[in-house]
Amino acid sequence: MRHRLVLLTEIIAPYRIPVFNALAQHPEIDLHVIFLAETDPTLRDWLVYRDEIHFSYQILPSWRRKIGRLNLLLNWRLLGVMRRASPDVIVCGGYNYFASWESLWWARSHRVRFMVWVESTAKDLRRGHALVESLKAKFLRSCDGLIVAGKSSFDYMRSFGAGEDRIFTAPDAVDNAFFEQQAELSRRNEAELRQALRLPRRFFLFVGRLVVEKGVFDLLQAYGTLAPGLRSEIGLVFVGEGTARAELERRAAGISPGSVQFAGFAQREELAGYYALAEAFVFPTHSDPWGLVVNEAMACGLPIICSSAAGCAADLVEDCWNGRVVPSSDTSQLASAMEDLSEHAELRAQMSQRSRERIQKFSPDMCAAGIAEAVLSRGVTHHV
């Protein structure tokens, strides 16, 4: 017997397509994905890879508006879509959209099992408002099961009183094979690529939005405190765009000696070149539910310097094994980790191999298997 699964998620994110493709191949699952919007131009410039989609899906009509820090997304026609889809199980990606609550109401009204896919952690800066936390707790209590990305989100769900029998892990993943292959091609053409991208001979790499909460100013400050001789040897490259770019560039101009470059936004096909030629990847975020750029960097064989605030840190980065884990906002320890890795080539080589080994367990197939386990579970319902 195949279970009709409707999976509700925000946008057609390129890193989710391989996961949904794998889930659609499961012999016991009949998958239909509902996207609340095609993309989010206010935050990301990702391409939409429709030609790679091999699962049933549709995109709801939507209206989006950014009001301060609030990203408002409204949809219509969801109830009719649910009725026609006739799901046995609904998996909802998050709880912060009106459509999330609408789909929960529909599921309860039609006695359909309802599960939420959660990436939030206790260190997420978006949490903390009393009303929001109260609504979140109510939503979670109403679900029949919780799907989490890793250890940090698992612990966060336990803090809401969820029993371990209700929590299923679907490890966050990217297309490891794609990044590994692209990185290998990049290394074969290192001289030409380094010249084309105007990259330093050695450099630390950051990939992500250039905004305060990603810790980009901490990274720049840490780089600026490295010994002048070391800064003359190794540069810092930011790949991404964001509201902090102009101020970062202004501050970077005052760092001498040293080389700080801003490459702008890069699509998936371009990223592997930056990863392949970097010395180490630095992710100094103040708040991040996971941090899939760490997955990408590890698939390309990079040692990782990661803040403890990243949701992925507990699963992907082992301190002094495949990288360094440092406290968020601690520029002194961040600089110490950067100095340590930059001065020990043998250590970087060991960490590089360990990153490759560990990331194999965080694949689209493993993520899809975790979702499938939740969908096919026969646990007792716990909704109110």
Count CB-CB contacts under 10 A for residue 28: 11
- Answer for the pair 243, 237: CB distance below 8 angstroms, yes or no: no
Task: Find the mean pLDDT for residues 208-219.
Answer: 97
Angstrom distance (rounded) from CA 187 to CA 201: 13
Assess whether pLDDT exceeds 80 at residue 92.
Answer: yes
Angstrom distance (rounded) from CA 207 to CA 355: 17
Q: What does the domain layout of the chain look like in residue ranges?
A: 3-173+363-376, 176-359
DSSP 256-310: -S--EEEEE---HHHHHHHHHH-SEEEE--S-BS--HHHHHHHHTT--EEEETTB
DSSP 78-121: HHHHHHHH--SEEEEE-S-SHHHHHHHHHHHHTT-EEEEEE---
Count CB-CB contacts under 10 A for residue 192: 10
Candidates 23, 13, 27, 90; CA nearest to 54 is 23
- Answer for the pair 220, 239: CB distance below 8 angstroms, yes or no: no
**CB neighbour list of residue 83: distance below 8 Å, 6 or more residues apart:** none
| Domain 3-173+363-376 in this protein, CATH class | alpha beta
Q: Based on the number of CB atoms within 10 Å of its own CB, is 254 exposed (0-12), middle (13-18) or buried (19 or more)?
A: exposed
pLDDT digits (tens, 9 = 90+) for 4-41: 999 999 999 999 999 999 999 999 999 999 999 999 87
Q: Which two tokens stand for residue 199?
A: 């990259």
Would you place residue 384 in the very low, low, confident or very high pLDDT band (cuts 50, 70, 90)?
very low
CATH code, residues 176-359: 3.40.50.2000
Count CB-CB contacts under 10 A for residue 158: 15
The structure's pTM equals 0.95
Task: Indicate if 176-359 has the same CATH topology as 3-173+363-376.
Answer: yes
pLDDT digits (tens, 9 = 90+) for 271-321: 999 999 999 999 999 999 999 999 999 999 999 999 999 999 999 999 999
